[in-house]
Structure 1
């Protein structure tokens, strides 16, 4: 079946999708005919072991890497057909590693998120950077140089910058008022346990309350199970699972893809599906 005609997505207006995408480097395929759909108002986790193609898929979704085959579509329109500024007003990303060459302060970095909106500022424009910093609990660091912060603090600053970029629906013609998107590549990797949960609670709240589409590369399967609506599982550059997270992340899937035995923990209140897994270390 053509991925663009899948019935469970046919009525969703805000849709980001990859269709038959292939990415190759000399001597190796990073993605092979990968197809996946990401819906507005949902958190979708991209999962898989190291080298599965997760960051490659994210780089295709952000437009940083053009696939050798297939295409990416945003709201039914090829990603390559959008003007960069139009995309920047509705879509923000946080990379796995982000280097800042100059001694920008935290506030200056967050304010960069508003740069695409400089010609059409929002009504509370001056307040947005502070509100974004408050959302990620870095407002007390706003006058510090970014390069003096810990890895976890930097991750929260870059999330604040991304939030500021898509803080409100873009002003302008209808073509520029598409669903907003947050594309996050391993956003919890440098965070302590408390801030991992706070970050994912925050982006889930944005998805639920504001209809923002969130795509996040995660390694922690229990975090994915708790906070994501759907997941896409990659293995060896291929999509081997896609759908509701609790339905895809079965013990059989986990053992096949990650090579570990997963013991489900029964959810409280009689809810369907496991609330988390206990993992048995491979011998």
Structure 2
């Protein structure tokens, strides 16, 4: 990747090991048990996957696959639909595309296509390799847009938690030929500077060093030319997750992005805020639908 480093840096507070562990454990705000939310992802995704959809391989590895949902288009439609590409979270080491389809029904109802991207999980893959896989998926989706039936110029990438990090990395300029770059991004409860994870239990599977964390931290790159972006997080999140999102918003604005909507969603936590994606009448849903309609 050919992208000049950014002068913007995330200024983290001086936390001890135990404090940092808690600060980057999003379940610490909800009593420690996040499994009910993962069950919601799966249940809603199972219901969504009853809808007609296609599974495609964008690479040769078992998890390099995506699920694509297409809306019914009226005859004589002026243009193909936009596509929302969702990258799941799970700290790069859990979840799957099969549990990442929950936004598809609302997305289709608004007239847009939806894709859920799978990727190889850590420790089988490094974070850098996972970034490359997600980039490959976006390039594949752009190259096959005309055949599959959505607009290659109207692709918006979205992600939650680790998925927001991956979506941000995929939106950076400086990739070879800048192929497959999305027209917009929706980043929910992300981590954009990974160095604080080194020394936490999260890093056991990731194996990040200070140097490798820097190489995959969006805040360490120039954000010039970054796509139009919505940043969101839940009210019930750790201060470090909120600080990460605010720092990324400030960095985007410093690079000249004229408007960066930042949404702290009341009464939502790190795990359930993303369930509002594409849901009309919610802060995150309305912002996502507005971005999709305008690209």
Q: TM-score, structure 2 length as denominator?
A: 0.28
Richer in strand (by share): 1
Bigger relative contact order (CA 8 A; separation at least 6): 1
Q: TM-score, structure 1 length as denominator?
A: 0.29
